[in-house]
Structure 1
């Protein structure tokens, strides 16, 4: 289930506080693609990666099943016109033409799909030698204080770098690109970031109150005040394979 289908999701908050991807990681993702490449951003959300792909001159199809997330994509289309097509569909069944795309990328979405069906659909969509990729941002829990923060926010999903996605024999072995960086957020922005996590969206009002109180207590313990900036360390990575 895509949690962003649920009531109470604020797509604007997602746009404001969720980070985009490091430019060098996006550059490695599209390396070798021709200028005329056609790209699918699968599970595009509000278009964080979609925008970065469009800014590099590619034609992009943004696939997204959530009506709330689609609003951001349609706003993005106003800026980029015909180079962006927005499709309300699932990753497992897009109804797009077969063998027509140079890159299919799951941006922060591979963990939400039925993997066998989504892999089959990506294979169907890609040209021979096209690229399949999955990209992620995640908080760097190698820092003990960040690990504790993710537990408090219940946002500690860690996609292990030793466990690439399993795309089968029709694709080459996945290769890894990695970057580390820092996001600067005020305490209230960090609280807003917590409300974009699936654990918050799917939780009860009582649990949300408890989570917010625990976060406020931790920020106070760390000595952060409202006029401070919190340095949040991130890891960003991309797994990519070629279609045989």
Structure 2
């Protein structure tokens, strides 16, 4: 089963995709403090893998969780972000399309909150080169669950443009195919200031001028404090979906099928 274009994250063109991705090159400490980690159901998908490379590791949210069970390597295009990820594993600046790893050097690769930024055919070819025979690739996304109208309005104020539709499938290329899907729901407990900090890690905020940032912050403060009557120390349950996909090489996926 392959994704329809309507289910994929959409960019106007390659330059827009790259420009939005480059926005994450600043504010690494704020990003690490504000962004959530991943539910254990995600890391469980790589049980049995020896060496795992976390591609697009960012500040190391998934890297840290994987390092409890695996020998982990980490890479990211942002020098500022990968400096933080290096606290958890050997790390260097590189991309999904050009990792710098040797042929057949890892048992698995993970891409969390990353895949929609990459050139899919080039990244899939690079994964085929570096992942050993029988190895797998994990793709994962945390997405704010906008099924609640209050949350939907919040994400619109935040300009959280990476909200993916329920049931979406990632774009992939040969020789990889989806061998397993795991979709789970979970909740992050945040105070209003932490929600505002989360908004500051979004690509829209990072690439916007100060006047736009001020407007977004003012709108968030109004929505949280005046409209919703939260206090700064209130705890807001922010619902998330986590969509995870295990990829294996096509002939293996065809033989085993979906579980």
- When normalised by structure 2's length, the TM-score is 0.84
Aligned to 2:46: 30
- When normalised by structure 1's length, the TM-score is 0.89
Aligned to 2:82: 70
Aligned to 1:47: 60
Aligned to 1:95: 100
Query: Aligned runs of 1:1-244 on 2, under 5 Å?
Result: 1=18, 2-4=21-23, 6=25, 9-27=26-44, 29-31=45-47, 33-34=48-49, 37-56=50-69, 58-76=70-88, 84-219=89-224, 220-243=226-249, 244=251
Question: Residue 98 of structure 1: CA displacement?
Answer: 1.0
CA offsets 1:47-77 (integer angstroms, 9 cap, x no match): 0000111111x1111011101102212233x
Question: Residue 153 of structure 1: CA displacement?
Answer: 0.3
Contact 1:186 1:230 in 2 (8 A): yes
Matched pairs, number: 230
Question: Residue 209 of structure 1: CA displacement?
Answer: 1.0
Look up the SS of the partner of 1:98 in the other structure: coil
CA offsets 1:68-126 (integer angstroms, 9 cap, x no match): 102212233xxxxxxx3212111111121112211111111101111111111111111
Hey, what's the Cα distance between the residues in 1 that align with 2:183 and 2:222?
33
Contact 1:140 1:234 in 2 (8 A): yes
Q: Which runs of 5+ in 1 are unaligned?
A: 77-83
Hey, what's the Cα distance between the residues in 1 that align with 2:168 and 2:142?
16
Comparing 162-171 with 229-238, greater Cα deviation is found at: 162-171
Question: Residue 169 of structure 1: CA displacement?
Answer: 4.1
Contact 1:106 1:133 in 2 (8 A): yes
Hey, what's the Cα distance between the residues in 1 that align with 2:80 and 2:23?
7
Structure 2 CA distance for partners of 1:171 and 1:161, relative to 1, 3 Å: farther
Aligned to 2:256: none
CA offsets 1:116-145 (integer angstroms, 9 cap, x no match): 111111111111221112111110011111
Contact 2:24 2:206 in 1 (8 A): no
Look up the SS of the partner of 1:75 in the other structure: coil
CA offsets 1:2-46 (integer angstroms, 9 cap, x no match): 23454xx3222222121100112211x213x24xx1111000001
Hey, what's the Cα distance between the residues in 2 that align with 1:26 and 1:98?
24
